[in-house]
Amino acid sequence: MNNKFFQYIYIFYGRIILVLLFAGFYLSCANQLPPSGGEDDKIPPKIITSEPLNNTLNYKNNFIYFEFDEYVDRRSFEESFFISPKPKGKKEFDWNGKSVRVIFSEGFLMNSTYNVVISKGLKDIRAGNQLTAPINFAFSTGNMLDISSLAGKVYAENYKNVYVVAYILNKNSDTMYNPSKFPADYITQTDEKGFYKLNNLPVGNYRIFALKDNDNNLLYDKDFDEISVLPDDIKISDSLSLSNVNFLLLDIEKKFSCTDYQNFYPVDSSGLLYSNLRNNDAEIPNDLKFYFYFKSGLINKYDLAENLTLINFQTNENIKLVFNWLSDTLVELILNEHLLNLTNYKFNLEIKNSNIKFLNYITFKTAGERKYVKLSGFVENFSVKNNPVNIYLYNSDKIFIQYKFQAISDSTFFFKNVYDGNYLLFAFLNPENINTYKKGKPYPYVPSDEFIYIDEPIKLKGGMSINLFRLRLGSFGN
């Protein structure tokens, strides 16, 4: 072989090596990869610096710049970045390692305050650590910064994708405030406990919603999302800071419903009959509502209604039962009078017919007087006097123990015998006297009832008499 042949071989393989080196360099630049090694990363990303800084005045550039302390997932940032009010034109993300420049093609309006939110969806790429609370900051293109704010809590089962969105009521058509079709003017996200704050709001009237945005498009889709409506629109005046503007994304009645037999009712040995009582239960409240569920087929509602009895062991007296059928297989038993304290009772169900022979009994003993609490308080209504107010107490440990009281505003409410334990309190103004909390509607707009929800358990110890506190309603938005 001559030297020319080896030259060709050298050139051929040299070109391949160059191509491979170039491809490796290109891929390393194109793919965002964190450095390997080191201890497990459990800390979410942090902003080292930004431009503009929080509360900057007279900002003239057309971009917002962030530098993070670690590599972040670029898509999560782009989906988590919000600015209010929304600038006109297109938005572009220009990445460089751990930093990003968000460029707005038409810049920002003069003499305007902008609020920037990076939601909890932002995560790093090394371990997927997400923010535990949204990042908020503001800047102004003029020499003044709007400083009014609005804060409160959203009550929900969980706080993934829960936002508070605000519409400025300055448009000609009410359809522009339809959250199913038009994005809000201002937006923020709750923290892990449901607290939120809308900062740097300009003076004006606002319609505000809490939105659980399951499909992540910042619009309300009734098939996927949940929404909460306030009792009224909010007026923001200069330098005003409103607090306790709260939203209810919980369905309180459903949350404390006693109809979920599979989760709450033990079954008897036959596997046919469920009840919220166990045989030989003790210290049962004397006003407890009893629930029975049976599998359809062998037993039917008529079998139960005709053959179920409740007997006082000590007097052998039959206790009258009222059957409230919640379905063909689930019944709530209501007693015309409270059971006696420290007394043994027995539910007896004996069915003898051509289809089935079934015998079941449940014995239980009621609690003594020292297991009960006398609880009172005062209801204030700052708007309308003598307005009905519904007050509900829910035992947070025993779902079947609940108490309801309807008070008239500016008067005392009183629960005579509350079984001791931990309780949540829910109260709402009930001007229509329909005994059901009115949730309202986002569009066409219908306001909700004003409410108070105390979700930190109130600890009640038996044998005590407690004057709890004042429930203040009717001052919403003031």
What Cα–Cα distance (Å) separates residue 352 from each residue in 237, 293, 341?
A: 74, 19, 33
Strands 113-118, 162-168: pairing kind = unpaired
**pLDDT computed for residue 18 by the predictor:** 41
Considering the entire predicted model, what is its pTM? 0.83
**pLDDT computed for residue 304 by the predictor:** 87
- Percentage of the chain lying above the pLDDT 90 cut: 62
**pLDDT means per 10 residues in the chain (478 residues)?**
47 46 42 54 91 97 97 96 93 97 97 95 94 93 95 94 94 86 94 94 95 94 95 90 93 81 64 85 92 79 90 92 91 90 94 73 94 92 79 92 89 92 93 88 95 93 87 72
**pLDDT computed for residue 183 by the predictor:** 92
Full set of structural domains in the chain with CATH: 43-145 (2.60.40.3710), 146-250 (2.60.40.1120), 261-366 (2.60.40.1220), 369-473 (2.60.40.1120)
Residue type, 434: I
- Give the burial string for 173-202 (b: 16+ CB within 10 Å, else e): eeeebbbeeeebbbbbbbbeebebbbbbbb
3-class state of residue 363 by DSSP: strand
